[in-house]
Each structure stands twice: as structure tokens, then as C-alpha cells.
């Protein structure tokens, strides 16, 4: 396409408001100038609107925008659904996107003298006027995504929220997409992590902002790739890439809020056995992006001129509709292995705590005595014939708040309970490390004849909860960190333990959220999984429910029964198909008994490992690179067509 160069003033500086705002006129040689830039906004946001001069030429009378005798500006490249090779905003804005016409922009723009750049306050004010509607919609989408997770658990909101973010970033600049990602992410994590208010609302806000920062590059990437063909596919890959990064950094990452964890009882769940949590996230995000494409297609059909054009637009809408349906239904075609190679009868003891909150431990030995008493009652029921004798018993994390190797009283209480029930007990205990100032979070196999034996030490202590990074520096500023008097020392091997007749895989507390820890445990030979956890600090806040759904996903992902044991609840027994077969209430003393399957086969997800996640993440990153290259090439080609 050829263009004619618009007439400019023959002498003096640029005479438009855009030049006053610092924008080089040469970058857009065929576009009439606009006062929008004077307000601090990129004119490219509305590429098809007419431009209007708003500032007089330096040292002269005002210049008419379209005076007689001036050659007419060359026509712009016609807009299209996925146009914008030059990297500017798409000319097919999302339905409901905030934006006013050029006249409104001119009326709102403050008068700026020629050659003078508007101040930061004026630019921010202009940005706020342009973006507040879009920002409000993004925040609403983030809140909706938070409601998809427990304790609310409205999983259909997860693809709907993805669709909303896709529409709001569609055709935007990378900077605008980044801002939209941030205002989507902050309220999402505020809703998701409000259980941290037990520690302090500053912790809720601080962690929410840190986690939301990962959605900033994702939002920019969504904006960039929205101009590419097959953009819903790249959008889904970007969601996987965002979660991949957030699961690993900083300090080992924080995987809370993955789309997969909102979909542990949805049609997408069986996909976990093929590609783990990343496969579920990908399917949910792909469905959401395709729904956004469907909305755009229907919007075009509504605006189409004539019945024939409307029919063609509706036929186009059938493609994303069919693809979204296929992505949602794909899970029904995936078999979930549940057949048992063997079985074992277990008992899960929930002894309860003295009080919820930060001081749940209460007086020394209180929690330990609660679990001893509950186990002794189980032993009496067995002796009386009211309950079949289990093959093994599982206690939760921190069931012993004192090191049984150093405190004789704790040792004797545990030993008494184990001998009374007559079977091995997996005991959660805090054990002093050989290095002064450190403690280990362990699961110890306690035999009724030989006493304590093999153990597993938690590999991934929680930063700022179980250890304090940069303790010497931060403790001077954040005195609350002194409530963590000793750092937990990380273990160096998986938690495969022979507990009576069963080879169990032990993971402790938040470790259930990390793909590689659970996967390595299963691949090392675990026939069933145990999650020893302690959620007493966050009781009745929704956090125990959020952690329980992770156990449900892991059951399907690895084809293993998952036993969750918590001192104050929620303790549960989950089948290999992800169904919760038994569970306790919070802050009650209870014992669960059941026969669970033991399985030897591993799933496709176990064999594939992290490869699907890395492939999808790299595709997302490369799609952004491709969008940048194509955008630059388009601008170069367009400039080269001018004399």
C-alpha cells in the first residue's frame, strides 16, 4: 500500500500537540496529529479515529487542521480483526472496553504550550481518565477468579476470568497490557490469600502484590500476542509460563492460585494424569481465551452490515465455540487409573489443638497428649472389637511439639500409644538439628517393637514461616519475624517410607503444592501418598480447603490414594480418582479409618515429568518474541513506503 505524505509546517518545530508531548512525528508520517498525546495518551489506542490539532504553531497564529489548499492526508491501512502489524492498538476493540471518541479526548486534554512536555501529574491524569473503566473491569475479573477457588469453589469462574482478561488486553500496547495484568492480579490474590490476615493484613497485601507482579509480563504478553493468528493458543501458553515462573521464584516459589487448583472437580481434572497441573491450567486458559474469541466474533456479527455478512460472521464464531467445547470435554476422554494392586487398612488420628491462630501450640505436650489420647481410644475400640485393627496409623505434622529424641517424656508418651495400638505409627515431630539454631520438620516411622526408625525431613521449608531469609537484616526492620526463633533445615531426599506393609510417600504441608516434590516421591516407589500438615494457624479461614483440593489433584495426577492428616483438620482420605471418601471437621478430635488401594503403575504425567510445562511455557515466551519481531517489521515496511 502506498501513502501520500501529509503536509507539515515548512519551518519551526512540530506544531502539533503530539510534538509537545514528546512524540516524534516521523514515527507516524501518514497520521493526522491529535491533542490526545498532550494529555499523555498514545494516539495509537484509537488508530481509526480522526486526529485534531490542539496547539498553535510556535510564534504564529493557530494553524487550521484542514485549511483550503492542503492536500488530504493519505488513507490509513484498513482495519481488520487481527490487523496492527505496526504494533499499535487493534482496531477491533473488545466489547465493553473503555474508550471515548477523539472529540472527547480533545475536550479533556489540558492546553500545553508548544514544545513543552506535560508534567507527570497531567500524564497520570490522562492515563486514569482513559483506563479507569478497563481497570475496574480487570479488578472485577480478578475477584471473580479468586471466587473460583475454595472456600467458594465456583470453578466455572476460572475460564470466565481468563476470557475477561483476554478481552481487556486484546489489541492493547504491551504497557497497557502489563497494567491490566497488575490490576487483575492484585484483587485476585487479595481474595485468594486473605487467610494470611491471621498473621497481619500487611502480609496479605504484601504477598498479593508480589504474586500479582508475575501477571504484569503475562498481561503484556497477552496484549502482544493478541495480534497474532491463533492467539488463544498463545494466551494459554502464557498462563502456563506465568505459573511456571511463580512456582519457582523467589525463594523456591509460591504455587498458590494455579488455575489447576480451582479445577479439581471439573471436566478438566482428568487431564492431570496426562500432563499434571500444567495440563489442567493450559486447558482452562485455552477455553477462556477461546470464549473471548467467541465474544469478539459475535460482536462482529452484531455490527455486520447486511444479512449475508452477518451469516458469515456467525459461521466464523462457530470455530472458537467448537474449540472451546472440545477443550472442556477433552478430560472425559482421559481414563483415570484407580485399580488396586494391593490394599492396606489405615487410621488417621486428628488430636486437635488447644486454640487456633498463631499460638496454636499452647502449653508444651498439649498437642502430643491429644494425639496420644485419641490413639489410646482407638486401641480400646480395637480390643473391644468395635473397630478392625488397622495395618498402620498416621499422625499429622507437629503431632509432637517436642523433640522425642531429647525429651524423655515425649518419647515415652509416643511409645506408649504405639505399643497400645500394636502397629507402626507415622509420627510428625519437630527434631533438633545437629547444627545449633536449626530444627527439622520430620515424619518418623515408630514401630511398636523397635521404636523410632526411618524418617523423612521436609525438603521445602516455607520462607518467613519456617525460616527467615536474610534474618539478620530483616529482623531489625520486621520484629514479627522474631516469632520464628529457629530456621527449619531442609531435607535432601524423597519421603518414601516403609510403614508396616505399605510403602508410603510422605510430603509435609505446603510441599503438596509443588509438582516436582510429589512427582519425585511417586517415581521413587510410593504406592500411596501421605500429606502430614498443620493448618491450625489458619483454621476456619479457607486455607485448609485450598490445601485439600491440592490433594485431590495429586490423587488424579499420580493415580494414588492421598491421605491428609492435620492436627486440627481438615484430615481426609482421597481416592485415586480424586474423590474425597472421608473427611473431618475443623477443630475436633477424630479418627478416620479406611481401606485404601496401593498402586504400582505410574501415570503419563509421572513419565513426562516437567517437560510439558517447559514446552508450553517456552511456546508462550516465543510467541511474544514473534509478536515483537512482526510488529517491528511492519513499522519498518510502512516507513519505507514513504518518500
The H or E element that residue 601 is part of is: none
> CA–CA distance from 202 to each of 207, 465, 478, 503 (Å)?
8, 15, 11, 43
Q: Is 458 one of the catalytic residues?
A: yes
For cell 509432637, name the residue. 400
Phi/psi for 496 (5° steps) reads: -80, 120
604 near 336, Cβ under 8 Å?
A: no
Question: Dihedral through CA 440, CA 444, CA 195, CA 574, nearest 10?
Answer: 150
Cβ atoms of 374 and 350 closer than 8 Å:
yes
How far apart are the C-alpha atoms of 296 and 317, rounded to whole Å? Answer: 8
Catalytic-role residue among 509, 557, 586, 613: 509
Rg (CA), the chain: 30
Query: Cα separation of 430 and 437, whole Å?
Result: 13
Exposed, middle or buried, 184 (CB in 10 Å: 0-12/13-18/19+)? buried
Which one of the listed residues 244, 458, 552, 624 is annotated catalytic? 458
| Cell 488430636 -> residue | 351
Options 14, 397, 440, 613, the catalytic residue: 397
* Contact criterion met (CB below 8 Å) for 497 and 456: yes
Q: Say if CB 265 and CB 257 are below 8 A apart.
A: no
| Residues with Cβ within 8 Å of residue 612, at least 6 apart in sequence | 275, 276, 278, 279
Residues composing the chain:
643
- Contacts of residue 235, Cβ cutoff 8 Å, sequence gap at least 6: 162, 166, 222, 225, 226, 285, 286, 289
The answer to whether 416 and 369 have CB atoms below 8 angstroms apart is no
Q: Is 334 exposed, middle or buried (0-12, 13-18, 19+ CB in 10 A)?
A: middle
Computed from CA positions of residues 287, 176, 188, 555, in that sequence, does the dihedral angle turn out positive or negative? positive
DSSP assignment of 504-520, as one string? EEEEEGGGGG-HHHHHH
Q: Are residues 195 and 538 in contact, defined by beta-carbon separation less than 8 angstroms?
A: yes
Q: Does the CA dihedral 490-493-495-500 come out positive or negative?
A: negative
Coil, helix or strand at residue 187:
helix
Active site residues: 397, 458, 509
Amino acid at each position: 500500500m502506498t501513502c501520500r505524505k501529509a503536509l507539515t509546517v515548512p519551518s519551526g518545530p512540530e506544531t502539533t500537540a503530539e510534538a509537545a508531548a514528546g512524540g516524534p512525528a516521523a514515527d507516524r508520517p501518514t497520521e493526522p496529529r491529535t491533542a490526545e498525546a498532550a494529555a499523555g495518551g498514545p494516539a495509537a489506542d484509537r488508530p481509526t479515529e480522526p486526529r485534531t490539532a490542539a496547539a498553535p504553531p510556535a510564534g504564529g497564529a493557530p494553524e487550521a487542521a484542514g485549511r483550503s489548499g492542503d492536500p488530504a492526508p493519505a488513507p490509513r491501512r484498513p482495519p481488520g480483526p487481527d490487523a496492527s502489524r505496526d504494533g499499535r492498538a487493534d482496531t477491533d476493540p473488545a466489547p465493553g472496553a473503555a474508550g471515548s471518541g477523539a472529540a472527547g479526548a480533545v475536550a479533556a486534554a489540558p492546553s500545553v504550550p508548544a514544545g513543552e512536555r506535560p508534567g507527570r501529574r497531567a500524564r497520570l491524569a490522562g492515563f486514569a481518565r482513559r483506563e479507569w473503566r478497563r481497570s475496574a473491569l480487570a479488578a472485577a475479573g480478578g475477584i471473580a477468579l479468586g471466587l473460583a477457588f475454595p472456600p467458594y469453589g465456583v470453578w466455572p469462574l476460572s475460564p470466565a476470568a481468563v476470557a475477561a482478561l483476554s478481552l481487556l488486553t486484546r489489541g492493547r500496547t504491551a504497557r497497557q497490557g502489563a497494567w491490566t495484568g497488575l490490576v487483575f492480579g492484585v484483587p485476585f490474590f487479595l481474595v485468594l490469600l486473605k487467610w494470611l490476615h491471621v498473621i497481619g493484613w500487611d502480609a496479605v497485601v504484601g504477598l498479593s502484590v508480589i504474586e500479582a507482579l508475575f501477571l504484569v509480563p503475562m498481561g503484556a504478553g497477552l496484549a502482544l500476542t493478541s495480534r497474532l493468528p491463533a492467539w488463544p493458543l498463545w494466551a494459554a501458553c502464557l498462563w502456563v509460563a506465568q505459573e511456571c515462573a511463580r512456582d519457582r521464584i523467589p525463594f523456591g516459589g509460591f504455587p498458590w492460585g494455579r488455575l489447576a487448583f480451582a479445577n479439581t472437580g471439573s471436566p478438566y481434572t482428568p487431564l492431570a494424569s496426562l500432563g499434571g497441573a500444567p495440563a489442567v491450567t493450559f486447558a482452562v486458559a485455552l477455553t477462556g481465551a477461546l470464549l473471548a474469541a467467541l465474544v469478539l466474533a459475535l460482536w462482529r456479527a452484531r455490527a455486520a452490515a447486511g444479512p449475508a455478512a452477518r451469516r458469515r460472521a456467525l459461521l466464523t464464531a462457530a470455530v472458537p465455540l467448537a474449540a472451546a467445547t472440545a477443550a472442556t470435554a477433552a478430560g472425559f476422554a482421559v481414563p483415570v487409573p484407580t485399580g488396586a494392586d494391593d490394599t492396606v487398612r489405615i487410621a488417621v488420628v486428628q488430636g486437635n489443638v488447644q486454640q487456633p491462630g498463631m499460638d496454636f501450640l499452647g502449653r508444651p505436650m498439649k498437642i502430643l497428649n491429644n494425639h496420644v489420647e485419641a490413639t489410646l481410644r482407638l486401641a480400646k475400640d480395637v480390643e473391644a472389637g468395635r473397630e478392625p485393627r488397622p495395618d498402620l496409623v498416621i499422625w499429622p505434622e507437629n503431632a509432637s511439639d517436642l523433640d522425642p529424641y531429647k525429651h524423655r517424656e515425649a518419647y515415652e508418651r509416643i511409645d506408649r500409644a504405639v505399643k497400645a495400638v500394636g502397629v507402626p505409627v507415622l509420627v510428625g515431630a519437630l527434631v533438633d538439628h545437629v547444627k545449633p539454631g536449626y530444627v527439622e520438620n520430620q515424619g518418623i516411622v515408630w514401630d511398636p517393637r523397635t521404636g523410632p526408625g526411618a524418617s523423612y525431613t521436609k525438603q521445602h521449608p516455607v520462607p518467613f514461616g519456617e525460616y527467615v531469609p536474610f534474618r539478620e537484616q530483616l529482623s531489625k526492620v520486621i520484629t514479627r519475624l522474631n516469632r520464628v526463633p529457629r530456621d527449619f533445615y531442609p531435607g535432601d531426599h524423597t519421603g518414601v517410607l516403609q510403614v508396616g506393609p505399605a510403602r508410603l510417600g510422605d510430603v509435609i504441608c505446603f510441599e503438596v503444592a509443588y509438582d516436582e516434590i510429589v512427582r519425585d516421591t511417586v517415581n521413587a516407589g510410593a504406592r500411596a501418598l501421605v500429606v502430614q500438615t498443620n493448618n491450625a494457624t489458619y483454621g476456619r479461614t479457607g486455607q485448609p480447603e485450598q490445601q485439600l483440593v491440592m490433594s485431590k489433584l495429586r490423587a488424579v495426577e499420580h493415580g494414588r490414594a492421598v491421605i491428609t492428616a492435620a492436627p486440627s483438620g481438615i484430615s481426609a482420605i482421597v481416592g485415586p480418582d480424586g474423590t474425597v471418601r472421608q473427611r473431618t471437621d475443623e477443630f475436633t478430635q477424630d479418627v478416620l479409618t479406611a481401606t485404601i488401594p496401593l498402586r504400582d503403575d505410574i501415570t503419563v504425567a509421572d513419565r513426562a515429568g516437567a517437560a510439558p510445562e517447559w514446552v508450553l511455557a517456552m511456546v508462550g515466551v516465543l510467541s511474544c518474541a514473534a509478536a515483537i519481531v512482526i510488529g517491528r517489521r511492519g513499522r519498518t515496511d510502512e516507513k519505507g513506503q514513504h518518500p
